[in-house]
Structure 1
Amino acid sequence: MIGPENVQSLAGVALVLLACWGLSEDRKRFPWKLAIGAILLQALLVLALFGLPALRAGLAGVGTVVDGLANSTQAGVSFVFGFLAGTPNQPYELVNPSGLFVFAFRVLPVILVVCALAALLWHWRILKWVTQAFGLLFERTMGLRGAPALATATTIFMGQVEGPIFIRSYLPSLSRSELFLLIAVGMACVSGSTMVAYATILRDVLPNAAAHVLTASIVSAPAGVLLARIIVPRNPAAEQPQDLDPAQAKRYESSVDALIKGTGDGLQIVLNVAATLIVFVALVAMLNGVLGLFPDVLGAPLSVERILGVLFAPLAWAIGVPWEDALQAGSLLGVKLVLTEFTAFINLGAVPVGEMSERTRVLMTYALCGFANVASVGINLAGYSVLVPERRNEIVGMVWKAMFAGFLATCLTASVVGLLPRALFG
């Protein structure tokens, strides 16, 4: 059944499109057909994934796989770190069992294992076939050319900078619109390794958490393409001919080589995530300390989270969140943008089940599932400066707009999910 809450999400769709149109480099060239097609594609993908019994069973299996990965990873972590990994057999009496969940030992190691598995699956051509299938889907349904379509599909599974690596030799010849599109889509999605980490964080508070996180990253790619095309419209005259060469794809010498290199890549991601979280959480603590010097406002001390909640509460409501949850949801959106999506997911996972409606938790899972944040601006600048140094100045001028597009793309995805009947996700 469609109710007022579903109609409410229409405001989110309209608000996102209007905001991107306001930033457009050519407001007279709004891609109406692409807008309708992209939103319909998002809705159809969600309906298919959660509505078709076979695909729904597959998504349910994803949760089992995530649990298996988490448990297997814990075996390796326990072997290296012993009781520090949070095993049930502790050498002392437990006063607070929940304290056994240590982020560094429960979530970060999962990224290592998934990166190694992704490299192995790529070497075995399984992930390559999946990526090519999605690339063909984006090429046929959204009008992308071969190289950007492949990079867009690869980004869903590999990450915001890793995806474009697969078409590195084509980056200098991409049009401005296509280059902007790749950066925006990279910030609208997440990587396979972080998908599993987010699902691990949410699995105790959100049913089918793994299915929602996987779906969120997939369906946010069309949203990223759409908003990128609105802000920097396509210019066919600037597009140079391309002949996509499969030899450009990443290669490993053997299965062992794939595992070793995948583990090495995962280690870099783990170190980046850990260091970023330490720095940004510390900065927020400093700001909260300064804000605590001011008088209380409405009976509570000022904090970064409260301020962000007030600023982003209208957007959260427009997405489809009930007004009683809007401040809390707005705070999560603000934390995701100003800090990192990891911090926002940790905060979402810490909210007890009874203190947030299930609809809000589902919509926030989709709205938070993207790399668009201030830290990612630096990551993209550093990454693309290596991949295509001759276009660095051009990228500097567009990366903040791309962050804005990526942030709103996940909000658009959440709004589209909010339009659909709640029973679909039951």
Structure 2
Amino acid sequence: MPNILNLQSLLGLAVIVGACWAVSENRRAFPWKLAIGAVLVQAALVLLVFGVPGSAVVLNAITGAVDGLATATRRGTQFIFGYLAGGEQPYVVQNQPALFVFAFEVLPLILVISALSALLWHWKILKWITRGFGLLFQRTMGLGGASALAVAANIFLGMIESPIVIRAYLDKLTRSEVFLMMVVGLATVAGSTMVAYATILGPVLPNAAGHVLVASIVSAPAGILLARIIIPETPGEGGAHADYDSDLKYDSAIDAIVKGTADGLMVVLNISAVLIVFVALVALVNVMLGGFWLFDGPVTVERVLGWLFAPVAWLIGVEWSEAGRAGWLLGVKLTLTEFVAFIELGNIPAGEMSERTRMLMTYAVCGFANIGSVGITVTGLSVLMPERRQMVLDMVWKALFAGFLATLMSAAVVGALPGAVFGT
């Protein structure tokens, strides 16, 4: 029998879908079959990874792969930065946790995964995996070939890299299909960052790597559904054909590694710059708010975000006693990027947050839907299809709304499943 928290998540699922219907451009065109199908696909994917007998072997393999990548990356980082990156220390260390430096422990993973992803794409391994997911979305959700391929690519590539995969078809996409591509790009994360997130959460969340991987995958169907609700496809339009070939090509394996590393470097630099600036801005606002007190405590950005998003966190299945802290994490994700939210989630000691809440928040913050990504989306798509720049500008805030809710929908679906599936 479902408990109250499972029912709470089902209520949140209904509220999320209802919120998108309320801002729909055509409320009469609600995609009932797609709504049922999207939720079933999400639940099936989660159960496939966590609920099928023998799934522990798969989860252990995923965790082992992440640990192996982290270890290999650490060797390369220590070769360049020595003891600063955790290598042999030239002095006696009194505080071992202080050796963890985000710039040396987490960001280099993005470089390695980016290069590895490019190599796997050149070897057609990642291309065939993407094609498989593309066919899945095409057959189960009625997407056109180009849209299905872009959605599948978003699971593994970035929100700007994936449109490059279907660059030859961008001018053939309808307004609804462009919007869908934007929403799914904001609802998912790139493969280059998944390993970093899993590394951050590994010490405090069992099967963290599996949860992060599944979170990005299941948010794709959620993004498809919410995008179709807000801007439905006009009957008779859409369905641009794609032969699952791509403009994203490399000349050789070495070319893939070099270009993949260069792309990863740009991601690392962007993440570093955004984190420095946004964390500094929040600290600046907190300084300005330092003179105000409310409810026996100083008013801070963190407390305000907790108040605003606590009801949202409760709706996805978080107990009210933890909703304030969970709501704060949602606010951090929206304003300061999901990277900061994952860092803060990883910093919460295991005994100070229940495993269920930590798991739900992993799904809720695992997406690029934040204010900073609005600029990235507009800039990237304007370069790829300059003639549609105004269309992108007109839809980008709706896309942010849908992308943010898509990750919440994924968390609500997970929250509605029996805890026994995840061993909680």
TM-score, reference length from structure 2: 0.98
How far apart, in 2, do the equivalents of 1:308 and 1:132 lie? Answer: 40
How far apart, in 2, do the equivalents of 1:56 and 1:378 lie? Answer: 40
TM-aligned CA distance change 1:6 to 1:246, over 3 Å: closer
Aligned length: 423
Shift of 1:15: 1.1
Match of 2:390 in 1: 393
How far apart, in 2, do the equivalents of 1:124 and 1:233 lie? Answer: 37
How far apart, in 2, do the equivalents of 1:289 and 1:137 lie? Answer: 50
TM-aligned CA distance change 1:36 to 1:245, over 3 Å: closer
2:404 maps to 1:404 = no
Shift of 1:247: 4.3
Match of 2:195 in 1: 196
Match of 1:375 among 364, 367, 372: 372
Superposed counterparts of 1:171-210, under 5 Å? 171-210=170-209
2:278 maps to 1:280 = yes
2:422 maps to 1:425 = yes
Shift of 1:144: 0.4
Of the structure 1 ranges 407-416 and 20-29, higher mean CA displacement relative to structure 2 is found in 20-29
- Secondary structure of the equivalent of 1:73? helix
- Deviations along 1:182-229, one digit per CA (max 9) or x if unpaired, are 000000000101110100100000010000000000000000000000
Shift of 1:93: 2.3
- Deviations along 1:389-416, one digit per CA (max 9) or x if unpaired, are 0000010000011011000000000000
- Deviations along 1:305-362, one digit per CA (max 9) or x if unpaired, are 1100000000100100011100000000011011100000000000000000111000
- Secondary structure of the equivalent of 2:368? coil
Shift of 1:22: 1.2
Shift of 1:133: 0.3
TM-aligned CA distance change 1:247 to 1:143, over 3 Å: closer
2:268 maps to 1:270 = yes
Match of 2:412 among 412, 415, 420: 415
Match of 2:304 in 1: 307
2:22 maps to 1:28 = no
RMSD across aligned positions (CA): 1.1
- Secondary structure of the equivalent of 1:183? helix
Match of 2:257 in 1: 259
Match of 1:170 in 2: 169
Which 5+ residue runs of structure 2 have no aligned equivalent? none
How far apart, in 2, do the equivalents of 1:59 and 1:128 lie? Answer: 23
How far apart, in 1, do the equivalents of 2:231 and 2:203 lie? Answer: 41
Q: Percent identity?
A: 62
TM-aligned CA distance change 1:243 to 1:231, over 3 Å: closer
How far apart, in 1, do the equivalents of 2:274 and 2:235 lie? Answer: 39
Shift of 1:18: 1.1
Superposed counterparts of 1:68-217, under 5 Å? 68-87=68-87, 89-217=88-216
Shift of 1:3: 1.3
- Deviations along 1:65-111, one digit per CA (max 9) or x if unpaired, are 10111111010000000101023x21122232111111000000000
How far apart, in 2, do the equivalents of 1:269 and 1:404 lie? Answer: 24
How far apart, in 1, do the equivalents of 2:316 and 2:244 lie? Answer: 40
Shift of 1:58: 1.7
Match of 1:331 in 2: 328
- Secondary structure of the equivalent of 2:196? helix
